[in-house]
């Protein structure tokens, strides 16, 4: 990636990938995110950090959690928010993504939040926006989902403390998973004790990620794990429909059931980025059970997105102060 995620002044400007983000910046985002959490039942945190600024959500792939939480994060920081209806946008008439960006930039957008099925789109946009404008990757093909990686690490730390002492197992369709890649990047930066990738051979990456150990047996792969993260089979990313695993057979071999989970530590936490396919990669009783932190992942995701927006605002404020 050629685009720099930090400005010359040292502010976070873009968030495209965790692979190039220093450990200190990851820690700073998570620390800031923690300040936005409020006790259950209390009103959510609001402030005026982004008053007068505009955030545009451009989701060229479906999303519930990421899109809703970026929208709420921006609104809770007092930004104006544009949610472009991409199915009705002029991209459907052949307009290039950069022309869409230039058009919206002319409407004084300060932050673009972008999800796209093609690799490199967020970085390419970041290379072409005005100097004060920021680009946040909200999910890029199979390669990167940085705010997801941050919220996953934040959730693990809040339950288990320092990741250096932990054994983390990521289970499922690793090959097509930007979630697995970003989680692995963040965990590796923070010095995870042991990272395991678990799944059938055809769903494992051709080259392992972040020096993780690879397992093709669920019981072995999650044995004594502190954290077990289940992933959805990303049907939309298979080149041929015939290659998609049979759901029942997959659940039998790799589904997180109560029985399977006995191989992990008794106090292991169970994670899933969502959306879930209950009865395929995870049993409903586990998703809703006492070891599940899936809803906390969602809550922490909103806090992480507030933190990232607040931090890139330092760049916007510094750049526009000079105008
Ligand atoms: N985890 C995640 O990215 O979920 P959405 O696709 O719903 O945003």
**Residue with more model confidence, 246 or 171:** 171
Helices then strands, each counted (H, E), the chain: 11, 9
Q: Spell out the domains of the chain, with CATH numbers in brackets.
A: 23-144+298-321 (3.40.50.1370), 146-293 (3.40.50.1370)
**Residue nearest ligand 1's atom 6 by CA:** 63
Give the model's confidence band at 13: pLDDT under 50 very low, under 70 low, under 90 confident, else very high. Answer: very high
Q: Which of 273, 298, 304 to mutate to test the pocket of ligand 1 (most atoms within 8 A of CB)?
A: 273
pLDDT attached to residue 208: 82
Is residue 208 exposed (0-12), middle (13-18) or buried (19+ Cβ within 10 Å)?
A: middle
Report d(CA 203, CA 179) in Å as an integer.
14
**Residue 323 pLDDT more than 70?**
no
Proportion of the chain in helix, strand, coil states, percent, rounded to 5: 40, 15, 40
For residues 137 and 151, give the distance between their C-alpha atoms in angstroms, rounded to a whole number: 14
What distance in Å separates the CA atoms of residue 213 and residue 205, rounded to the nearest whole number?
A: 12
Nearby residues of 289 by Cβ (< 8 Å), 6 or more positions away:
258, 270
Q: What pLDDT is attached to residue 92?
A: 79
| C-alpha 181 chain-centroid distance | 10
Task: Please list the residues that pair with 229 across neighbouring strands.
Answer: 170, 271
Cβ–Cβ < 8 Å for 280, 263: no
pLDDT tens-place string over residues 37-77: 999 999 999 999 999 999 999 999 999 999 999 999 999 99
Residue whose C-alpha is closest to residue 228's, from 162, 303, 155: 155
- Listed residue (162, 115, 159) closest to 15, CA to CA: 115
pLDDT at 117 over 80: yes
Span from the CA of 323 to the centroid of ligand 1 (angstroms): 37
Beginning with the edge strand found earlier in the chain, give each strand of the sheet holding 227-230 in spatial order. Answer: 213-215, 194-198, 167-171, 227-230, 269-271
Distance CA 305, CA 113 (A): 10
Q: What separation in Å is there between the alpha carbon of 65 and the centre of ligand 1?
A: 5
Q: Pocket around ligand 1: residues whose beta carbon is below 6 Å from it?
A: 63-67, 139, 148, 273-275
Q: CA-CA distances (angstroms) from residue 1 to 17, 270, 315?
A: 9, 33, 20
């Amino acid at each position: 990636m050629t685009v720099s995620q930090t400005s010359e002044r040292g502010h976070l400007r873009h968030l495209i990938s965790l692979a190039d983000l220093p450990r200190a910046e990851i820690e700073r985002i998570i620390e800031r995110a923690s300040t936005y959490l409020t006790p259950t039942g209390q009103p959510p945190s609001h402030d005026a950090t982004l008053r007068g600024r505009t955030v545009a959500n451009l989701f060229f792939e479906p999303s519930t959690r990421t899109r809703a939480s970026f929208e709420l994060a921006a609104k809770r920081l007092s930004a104006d928010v544009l949610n472009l209806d991409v199915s009705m946008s002029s991209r459907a008439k052949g307009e290039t993504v950069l022309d869409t960006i230039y058009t919206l930039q002319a409407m004084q957008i300060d932050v673009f939040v972008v999800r796209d099925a093609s690799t490199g789109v967020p970085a390419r946009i970041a290379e072409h926006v005005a100097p004060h404008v920021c680009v946040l990757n909200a999910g890029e093909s199979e390669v990167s989902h940085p705010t997801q990686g941050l919220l996953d690490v934040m959730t693990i730390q809040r339950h288990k403390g320092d990741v250096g002492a932990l054994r983390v197992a990521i289970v499922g369709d690793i090959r097509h998973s930007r979630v697995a890649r970003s989680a692995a990047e963040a965990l590796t930066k923070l010095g995870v004790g042991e990272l395991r990738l678990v799944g059938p051979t055809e769903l494992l990456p051709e080259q392992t990620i972040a020096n993780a150990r690879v397992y093709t047996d669920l019981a072995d792969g999650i044995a004594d794990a502190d954290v077990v993260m289940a992933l959805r089979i990303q049907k939309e990313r298979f080149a041929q429909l015939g290659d998609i695993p049979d759901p029942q057979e997959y659940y039998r071999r790799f589904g997180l059931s109560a029985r399977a989970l006995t191989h992990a530590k008794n106090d292991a936490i169970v994670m899933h980025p969502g959306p879930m396919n209950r009865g395929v990669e995870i049993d409903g009783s586990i998703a809703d059970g006492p070891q599940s932190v899936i809803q906390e992942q969602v809550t922490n995701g909103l806090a992480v997105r507030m933190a990232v927006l607040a931090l890139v605002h330092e760049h916007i404020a510094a750049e526009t102060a000079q105008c």
